[in-house]
């Protein structure tokens, strides 16, 4: 499996964390970025970087941050060079809060054009989990949702499927290319669930 291309470029703002107990961290700006290494200028760098400890470099907005583990190579003045020892990974595993709810829905396989009733388990702005009797064919699905007298069909992609604890299958789905009305429906759907949760 290939390594993700280094997403950093000169000027990128990053956080460097020494994986010690307790951890130490510094804000820095990337100066040089290569496939397997970076050099960054740290604000208030330590007196000496520790080659005996590993470091973590993270960047990106809250909720969508990436990180990689790295080792210290060399430093000059406030600039330090690090070699990446892991691929870039998501730091924020759950970007969207999931709302647990039990509601009827319908799942249609785009590939096989099969339809079946199911139950909604949970939903977030990024996707949903549903329980169905049989696993549909293909990974491209459409889910019919109802909320307060309104209905919408939303396109989804199957992320993974697993056997349910009481039979059937649980499908973990990611929303795919939602139109503006579909996106508005999902947001309103979740807002109504959130208001109920806050009132209870």
Provide the whole-model pTM.
Answer: 0.52
| Sign of the alpha-carbon dihedral angle for 92, 96, 99, 103 | negative
Look at residue 37 in the predicted model and tell me its pLDDT: 94
Rounded to an integer, what is the distance from CA 54 to the centroid of its chain?
24
Quote the pLDDT of residue 83: 96
| Mean local confidence (pLDDT), 133-137 | 88
Among candidate residues 23, 14, 88, 27, the one with its CA nearest the CA of residue 50: 23
Question: Residue 2: pLDDT above 50?
Answer: no
How many whole angstroms separate alpha carbon 11 and alpha carbon 35?
16
pLDDT of residue 197: 58
Read off the pLDDT of residues 9-32 as tens digits, 9 standing for 90 and up.
Answer: 999 999 999 988 778 889 999 999
The verdict on domain 13-90 having CATH code 2.40.10.220 is yes
Same fold, 13-90 and 99-199: yes
For residue 153, the Cα-to-chain-centroid distance in whole angstroms is 23
CB burial class (10 A; 0-12, 13-18, 19+) of residue 68? buried
pLDDT digits (tens, 9 = 90+) for 86-109: 988 877 554 567 788 889 999 999
Structure tokens at 82: 């690090």
- Which CATH number fits the domain 99-199, given the four candidates 3.30.565.10, 2.30.40.10, 2.60.40.10, 2.40.10.220? 2.40.10.220
Where are the domains positioned within the chain?
Answer: 13-90, 99-199
The per-residue pLDDT for 180 is 87
Share of residues in the chain with pLDDT > 70 (%): 90
pLDDT, one tens digit per residue, over 161-186 is: 888 877 889 999 999 988 888 888 88
């Amino acid at each position: 499996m290939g390594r993700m291309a280094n997403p950093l470029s000169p000027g990128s703002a990053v956080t460097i964390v020494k994986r010690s107990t307790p951890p130490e961290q510094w804000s820095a700006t990337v100066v040089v970025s290569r496939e397997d290494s970076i050099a960054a200028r740290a604000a208030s760098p330590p007196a000496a970087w520790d080659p005996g400890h590993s470091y973590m470099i993270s960047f990106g907005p809250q909720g969508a941050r990436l990180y990689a583990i790295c080792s210290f190579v060399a430093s000059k003045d406030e600039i330090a060079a690090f070699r990446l020892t892991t691929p870039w990974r998501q730091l924020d595993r759950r970007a969207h809060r999931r709302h647990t709810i039990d509601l009827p829905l319908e799942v249609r396989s785009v590939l096989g054009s099969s339809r079946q009733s199911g139950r909604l388990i949970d939903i977030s702005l990024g996707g949903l989990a549903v329980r169905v009797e049989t696993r549909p064919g293909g990974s491209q699905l459409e889910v019919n949702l109802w909320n307060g007298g309104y209905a919408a069909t939303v396109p989804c992609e199957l992320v993974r499927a697993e056997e349910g604890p009481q039979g059937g299958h649980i499908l973990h789905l990611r929303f795919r290319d939602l139109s503006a009305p579909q996106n508005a429906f999902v947001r309103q759907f979740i807002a109504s669930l959130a208001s109920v949760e806050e009132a209870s």
